[in-house]
Amino acid sequence: MKLTILGSSSALPTSERYPSAHVLNAHERLFLIDCGEGTQMQLRRNRIRFGKINHIFISHLHGDHIFGIYGLLSSLSLMGRKTPLHLYAPANYRRILFSHLEDFDIKLSFEIDFVPLSKNDPEQILDDKYLTVTAFPLDHRVPAFGFLFREKPADRNIIKEAIEKYNIPGVRIPAIKKGGDFTRDDGTVIQNSEITTSPPEPLSYAYCSDTKYFRRLASFVKGVTLLYHEATFDKSMDSLASITGHSTTSDAARTALEAEAGSLIIGHFSSRYKNPAVLVDEAREIFPLTYQAVDGKSYIVGDMDQA
């Protein structure tokens, strides 16, 4: 899985930072998470193909997370898209979206499959061949949701030499890859562990923006490989963070620590920080494996050395 940050700014874009948008590439399928203003320009700049995006996840209805969607939908239509687009967003967005399309006389060339988010508990919203996606509630000024992308365990790897040694017919291999033992014609059973090796651990990515700190959040993303958590403010701005429903660097790092996350990326930086590196330094005091979200940068989930 590869994550590309398209925007790392909070409310006000800066000359270096666009508002929130992430693209997760999982097995060559692209998932767009939030769609702040300028997302389609950032997609072009980073050579990400619009047509490969079939799922868009909107965390909440604040402009810095959604103002880019109207332009993107319009462009997809102008490009002649036919494939349905799955859109996951707070339930009340359905009315706003379709009313907007009608008001602006936009007749899309494709269907929108709108999936409403409204639950107070984690809810699985997507389940396909390779992964599941779960939406979970955040604590913000308006209903807001985080998203957890979790790979499904891959099949076991069959050992080539074992195929020859036990003369395993091809037709039996799929069941063995799923963990089954191999029974020979004479009735002897070869244990699965003798003829296969374990696949790599499934990876996961969680997106948490916007939210203030709350204890339950860590349990929603427990053990996640890579956690993205907003850190709008430095730790001295605790009270402003609380009033505005946002997190400080300490809040983000604390959640990563409590969740036992593999690594943490912080973003959604207030425009008052010219250089967010100071925020990363603060977070690292609590959670050393913290990285800065940088517009246009890609990160390999589970291998941040390649970041």
Catalytic residues: 64
Would you say 196 or 211 has its CB closer to Zn ion? Answer: 211
Residues in contact with Zn ion by CB under 5 A are 62, 64, 210
- Find out whether 73 and 44 touch, Cβ atoms under 8 Å: no
Would you say 18 or 182 has its CB closer to Zn ion? Answer: 18
Which H/E stretch holds residue 22?
strand 21-26
Would you say 64 or 251 has its CB closer to Zn ion? Answer: 64
Q: Any residues with CB less than 8 A from the CB of 170 and at least 6 apart, and which?
A: none
Shortest distance, CB of residue 61 to Zn ion, whole angstroms? 8
Q: Is 167 exposed, middle or buried (0-12, 13-18, 19+ CB in 10 A)?
A: exposed
Write out the two tokens for 198.
């374990």
Greatest pairwise CA separation for the chain in angstroms: 74
Shortest distance, CB of residue 20 to Zn ion, whole angstroms? 6
Per-position DSSP letters for 197-213, written without gaps between them: EPPPPPPEEEEE-S---
- Find out whether 201 and 150 touch, Cβ atoms under 8 Å: no
Shortest distance, CB of residue 210 to Zn ion, whole angstroms? 4
Would you say 64 or 282 has its CB closer to Zn ion? Answer: 64
Shortest distance, CB of residue 134 to Zn ion, whole angstroms? 20
Report how far residue 66's alpha carbon sits from residue 209's, in angstroms, rounded to the nearest whole number. Answer: 13
Pick from 66, 89, 210, 88: which is nearest to 138 by CA? 210
Would you say 60 or 81 has its CB closer to Zn ion? Answer: 60
Length of the chain: 307
Dihedral class, residue 278 (left if φ above 0, else alpha if ψ from -120 to 50, else beta): alpha
Residue least distant from Zn ion (Cβ):
62
| 135 bridge partner residues | 123, 147
Amino acid at 18: Y
Report how far residue 276's alpha carbon sits from residue 105's, in angstroms, rounded to the nearest whole number. Answer: 41
Would you say 67 or 110 has its CB closer to Zn ion? Answer: 67
